[in-house]
Amino acid sequence: MKGLRLVLLAQLAFFALWAGLLIGAPRQDVGDIYLETEPVDPRDLLSGTYVALSYPIGNARTCSGLPGSFRRGTVYVSLSDKGRRAATPSGQVVVHEADGCALEKPRSGVWARGNLAEGRGGRRVVFGIERFFLNENDPLKDARSGSVLAQVRPDRYGGLRLNALVRKD
Amino acid sequence: MASYYDKLKRDLDLSAAEGLITAAQASAVYERSLANRLLAQWKAVHWIALFSGILIAAGVSLVLAHNWDKFGAVVKISGFLLVFAAAAEAAMRLEDRPAAAVPAEALWFFMPVIGIGLYAQIFHLSGDPMKPYLVWAALSLPLALLAHGRRSAFLLVILLFGTLFAGTLTPGSMLSLVSRYGAEALPPWWHWPLALSVLGTASAVGLYRRCHSASRLLGAALAWVVMLLLADTVLKVRSEAFVLLAVSSATALWVAWTPAEERGEARLPYLAWFANVYAMTFLWHHSPRHQGGADSPWGVVLVWALFAFALGSVALKPLLKDAGKGWEAAFKAALIAPPLAAFLLFGATEVHAKAIALFANLIICAAGAGLIWNGAMENSERRINYGIAAVSLIAVTRFVDLFGGLLNSGLGFIGAGLGFAALATFINRGRKALIQSAEEAKR
């Protein structure tokens, strides 16, 4: 019984720590930023209601400056305001775009940690924010990648947290 | 309806009352019989209780999903942690009441994956599809090892083997061992130790907790190896001879390494052996064709290793307990004949393929006749029936195979029907006569 209680405590501690990390991870110096999305064909219909997302910042050409021998693994994508704006119901917002990617963490600026991998459509960087789960009655259910902006929050470890989808006007 | 174990208990009590055996012996026999079956103590109410646990788990996640927007993240997580703790406490405290403990433990086992799904939905997490299953297995491993019963271990082994098959044989996951369709690059080498550690953990838990038979674990592992040889992995083999040699060696290994004490109950290894030889009989229609790609060197090495191991095991291991040397030799010959026959397929012509098919028919007929003979000598109705089933299946298959083309008229169908009716009558008479002689010998 004592051993099992320890098992339970370890399991609960795992979920509590994970929640703490997800909720309380320190942010980068920038607030929420917006990322452009591009059309994607959602294929997995078994995982509940979600909008499948794909991001131009994940294109393989973002990482074209990396050594040719580097085929897969963790990369750091620099993001910046290159002057692109998008109209949303709450006004114009800045859309961050990729500057390039590196194998080392950038020392300044906004950046995101991703995983360069071979996907269905060739090599891409994935950030773990490729699905936006929502209620079955949510009007965004019919949104498609490319018609929305992703409002994300970069944390200090380079993780991106997907906060909301915003329709483009 | 009284279960087998109720009847066994009654018979044992009766035997003890009549003085045939002592009460202690009756109790010991009953306990041993129960211990052999994981779910023996389960009655209908326990199965219903298990389903109720699964339904509760599914219901909780559905209710949360439907009321998604009404709760904040902290409320959802707190609620989840409370339900998690409550399910685990209930499983621990109500251990002596299976109707409550079974669903509680099932809920406890499934809580990690419910939590991972919940967090993924709250925080919109996506990524490798196998990662949640591996995390779930890692979180549930201590429960499977320490829980009083073997239910969690039973479920964990299924989870691990499911993850192993799904993860290694589909491209793109952290366990994947296959390349994407059209892509030349294979997944990184470190997927192999990860996949092997999943296989090792599943086997170790299954053996340590005795929640699955050693034969079943070995069969699952061999099936996985064969799948790796057939899929687009670093081990792929494409020539038919190597594929046949691998499958035949794997089935021989499975039968040879099924522990003697499990061999009476384990029918799957024999069924796999029979299915392989039966499939070989269809090589009669085989014509050499262009193979889809080259064999990989590692795959070829593995197939030779499987064959060598099968040959060595069958040759050196005593396989039949308390059987004469003749039966032991016949059993060994039946096991090793299919892999040896596969050699005829190297550089095959149609003649070689037909020779294998003929040989496979002979193996099945000989095995069937051996079973009938052995069954009649050792008074085993079951062996007689198996032997007759094997011979009958070959007879019917070959009839349809060779004369199926003649069934193009009503008279042809009537003739075939009458022929099968006569065959069935003769077989049934022979079967009854053999069983009767076996029963008389028993008396």
pLDDT digits (tens, 9 = 90+) for B169-193: 988 888 999 987 666 678 888 899 9
Q: Is residue B58 part of a domain?
A: yes
Domain that holds residue B54: 37-125
Do the Cβ atoms of B66 and A136 come within 8 Å?
yes
Q: How much is the pLDDT for A46?
A: 45
Across A30-167, the runs of DSSP E, i.e. the strands, are 33-36, 50-52, 73-88, 91-102, 110-119, 122-126, 131-133, 148-154, 160-167
Task: Write down which residue in B212, B238, B265 finishes a domain.
Answer: B212
What is the number of structural domains in chain B? 2
Do the Cβ atoms of B180 and A118 come within 8 Å?
yes
Any idea what DSSP says for residue B233? S
Average pLDDT, integer, range B9-16: 87
| Among chain A residues, CA nearest to B136 | A11
| Residue A147 tokens, joined | 């018609």
Task: Tell me, yes or no, whether B168 and B184 share the same domain.
Answer: yes
Contacts of A14 in chain B (CB under 8 A): 139
Q: Is residue B328 part of a domain?
A: no
Of the partner residues A14, A23, A72, the one whose CB lies closest to the CB of residue B188:
A72
The pLDDT mean for chain A works out to 83
Of residues B235 and B264, the one with the higher pLDDT is: B235
| Residue A59 tokens, joined | 């294109």
Q: Is residue B402 part of a domain?
A: no
Q: Is residue B147 part of a domain?
A: yes
| Among chain B residues, CA nearest to A118 | B172
DSSP result, B93-160? HTTT-HHHHHHHHHHHHHHHHHHHHHHHHHHT----TTHHHHHHHHHHHHHHHHSSSSHHHHHHHHHH
Q: Is residue B422 part of a domain?
A: no
Do the Cβ atoms of B172 and A14 come within 8 Å?
no
Task: Tell me, yes or no, whether B121 and B95 share the same domain.
Answer: yes
Is some CB atom of chain A closer than 8 A to the CB atom of B338? no
Task: Tell me, yes or no, whether B49 and B91 share the same domain.
Answer: yes
pLDDT more than 70, % of chain B? 89
Q: Is residue B378 part of a domain?
A: no
Is some CB atom of chain A closer than 8 A to the CB atom of B181? no
A 10 A CB-CB count for A28 gives 17
Indicate if the alpha-carbon torsion angle B268, B271, B275, B276 is positive or negative.
positive
Q: Which stretches within B210-349 are classed as H helix?
A: 214-230, 240-257, 260-263, 268-280, 297-316, 325-342
* Upper half-sphere CA count for residue B344 (Cβ side, 13 Å): 21
Do the Cβ atoms of A126 and B127 come within 8 Å?
yes
Residue to test with chain A: of B126, B152, B175, most A Cβ within 10 A: B126
Interface residues of A toward B, Cβ cutoff 8 Å, are 1, 3-8, 10-12, 14-16, 18-19, 22-23, 48, 71-72, 117-120, 126, 128-136, 138, 161-162
Task: Tell me, yes or no, whether B167 and B186 share the same domain.
Answer: yes
Q: How much is the pLDDT for A44?
A: 47
| CA B165 – CA B135 distance, rounded (Å) | 16
ipTM over 0.90? The verdict is: no
The pLDDT mean for chain B works out to 85
Residue type, B50: L
Contacts of B85 in chain A (CB under 8 A): 8, 12
Q: What is the pLDDT of residues B44-73, one digit of tens each?
A: 777 787 788 788 878 877 776 677 678 888
Do the Cβ atoms of A71 and B69 come within 8 Å?
no
Average pLDDT, integer, range A12-21: 91
Residue B260: which of B307, B213, B208 has the closest Cα? B213
Of the partner residues B89, B139, B146, the one whose CB lies closest to the CB of residue A14:
B139
Q: How much is the pLDDT for B134?
A: 95
* Helix (H/G/I), strand (E/B), else coil: A1: coil
Do the Cβ atoms of A118 and B183 come within 8 Å?
yes
Q: Is the pLDDT of residue B1 over 50?
A: no
Task: Tell me, yes or no, whether B106 and B156 share the same domain.
Answer: no
Do the Cβ atoms of A19 and B172 come within 8 Å?
no
CA angle at A32 for the pair A30 and A34, rounded to the nearest 5° = 115
φ, ψ of residue B267 to 5 degrees: the values are -95, -20
Do the Cβ atoms of B66 and A135 come within 8 Å?
yes
| Among chain A residues, CA nearest to B128 | A128
Task: Write down which residue in B212, B242, B275 finishes a domain.
Answer: B212
Return the CA Rg of chain A: 18
Q: Is residue B18 part of a domain?
A: no
| Among chain B residues, CA nearest to A150 | B124
Q: Is residue B98 part of a domain?
A: yes
Is some CB atom of chain A closer than 8 A to the CB atom of B58? no
| CA B330 – CA B175 distance, rounded (Å) | 42
Q: How much is the pLDDT for B438?
A: 64
Q: What is the pLDDT of residues B280-337, one digit of tens each?
A: 999 888 876 656 678 899 999 999 999 999 999 999 888 887 777 888 899 899 999 9
| Among chain A residues, CA nearest to B184 | A118
Q: Looking at the whole model, is its pTM more than 0.80?
A: no
**Residue that is written with structure tokens 């809920």 in the block:** B107
Contacts of B101 in chain A (CB under 8 A): none
Of residues B150 and B323, the one with the higher pLDDT is: B150
Task: Write down which residue in B94, B125, B156 finishes a domain.
Answer: B125
Task: Tell me, yes or no, whether B131 and B113 share the same domain.
Answer: no
| CA B68 – CA B66 distance, rounded (Å) | 5
Do the Cβ atoms of A128 and B65 come within 8 Å?
no
Of the partner residues A8, A19, A136, the one whose CB lies closest to the CB of residue B88:
A8
Find out whether B188 and B173 touch, Cβ atoms under 8 Å.
no
